[in-house]
Amino acid sequence: MDLKTLGWNQQFENEFESYKQESYSVGRVALEHKHMYRVLTESGEVLAEISGKFQYNAAGRGAYPAVGDWVVLSVRIEEGKATIHHVLPRKSKFSRNIAGATTEEQIVAANVDTVFIVAALNADFNVRRIERYLLMALESGANPVIILSKADLCQDIDEKIQETESVAIGVPIHVVSAEQNSGLEALSAYINEGKTIALLGSSGVGKSTLVNTFTGKATLKTAGTREDDDRGRHTTTHRELVVLDQGGILIDTPGMRELQLWESETGLSQGFSDIEEFTSRCKFRDCTHNGEPGCAVRKAIEEGELDAERYKSYLKLQKELAYLERKEDKQLAQAQKDKWKKVTMGQRKKR
């Protein structure tokens, strides 16, 4: 399979250059088993393991390969096996924090170009939820596209679109109904050769149904194709990264599907109005909350009024914003900044 078809581009080529000179191969992770990875390469699929050196040097779980990652390999093609030596820098990533002795980051999908945020136009419609998924997309580095699904169940579509627009300035919004087979063609515009898409949205909004329309029923059936395994027996296998017939790559991992749960745990759902409130009470206007006297944020954390983790998420999103501003896409950055203001201001007004 052609690497471009799998999402390879100049940026990755540049990162790979030095490894290439040392005769390493490259591939994209399609499935993560325990300690094993199914990796798609130009010369076919291989079953890969992490090198001892990689394991030794890995700085936490987030350093390990995840579905969508490009990995530097030495391939033993006749065995169908390979060893993973490095993970190329990620263009975007969706991750969740695993609470343990220390909080660890687990990557659930990497190098996603476009994320479809799916929300159903039924009684569960909730613009705040869309807002939270948008923040997640913003954090990930993938471009968000909003899909309002189950249009057949909605009487006031225009109103819902307007509500959505108010929290998603500059973000494309598409209305679809899988039931009536309407609006789906517009989504093809995002499904192009070498572009990776993923879906985000609460359970029951119609993500699987959409995936079926992208992959086509036939492909879906063969997604669990029988193939020979090591022992020569037939077993069913699945991939969490698939190349679509029309071009484009779809990532659909259980981790991605669980992100919604994580999202409500972090407390992003409440917005950050409380933090902004503390900030406004700091003694100095330009307080960086790094130990200045009269800092209301530090005080709030010390006194347990403000959760340190929440403050960390807040800083993380701010950093992401700063990053977006540095990116060429000034217009998107401005839109995100406006939206950011709106999230915090909107929440403040409500109190």
List residues binding Zn ion (CB under 5 A): 282, 287, 289, 295, 297
Q: How far is the CB of 199 from ligand GDP (least distance, A)?
A: 8
Q: Does 149 bind ligand GDP (CB under 6 A)?
A: yes
Q: Does 204 bind ligand GDP (CB under 6 A)?
A: yes
Q: Does 205 bind ligand GDP (CB under 6 A)?
A: yes
Q: Does 179 bind ligand GDP (CB under 6 A)?
A: yes
Q: Does 215 bind ligand GDP (CB under 6 A)?
A: no
Where does this chain touch ligand GDP (CB under 6 A) — which range of 21-29, 46-54, 64-72, 173-181?
A: 173-181
Q: Does 206 bind ligand GDP (CB under 6 A)?
A: yes
Q: Does 208 bind ligand GDP (CB under 6 A)?
A: yes
Q: By CB under 6 A, name the one of 117, 178, 200, 242 that touches ligand GDP.
A: 178
Q: How far is the CB of 299 from Zn ion (least distance, A)?
A: 8
Q: Does 129 bind ligand GDP (CB under 6 A)?
A: no
| Radius of gyration of the CA atoms of the chain, in A | 22
Say how far apart CA 275 and CA 308 lie, in whole Å: 11
- Give which of ligand GDP, Zn ion, none residue 97 binds (C-beta under 5 to 8 Å, depending on kind): none
Q: Which is nearer to ligand GDP, 12 or 133 (CB)?
A: 133
Q: Which residues contact 312 (CB under 8 A, 6 or more apart)?
A: none
- Give which of ligand GDP, Zn ion, none residue 294 binds (C-beta under 5 to 8 Å, depending on kind): none
Q: By CB under 6 A, name the one of 77, 98, 99, 153 that touches ligand GDP.
A: 153
Q: How far is the CB of 205 from ligand GDP (least distance, A)?
A: 4
Q: Does 347 bind ligand GDP (CB under 6 A)?
A: no
Q: Which is nearer to ligand GDP, 55 or 188 (CB)?
A: 188
Q: How far is the CB of 191 from ligand GDP (least distance, A)?
A: 17
Q: How far is CA 272 from the centre of its chain?
A: 21
- Give which of ligand GDP, Zn ion, none residue 149 binds (C-beta under 5 to 8 Å, depending on kind): ligand GDP
Q: How far is the CB of 219 from ligand GDP (least distance, A)?
A: 16
Contact mark string toward ligand GDP, 88..107, x via CB under 6 A: --------------------
* CA angle, 321 then 324 then 328, to 5°: 155
Query: Rule CB under 6 A: which residues touch ligand GDP?
Result: 149-150, 152-153, 177-179, 201, 203-209
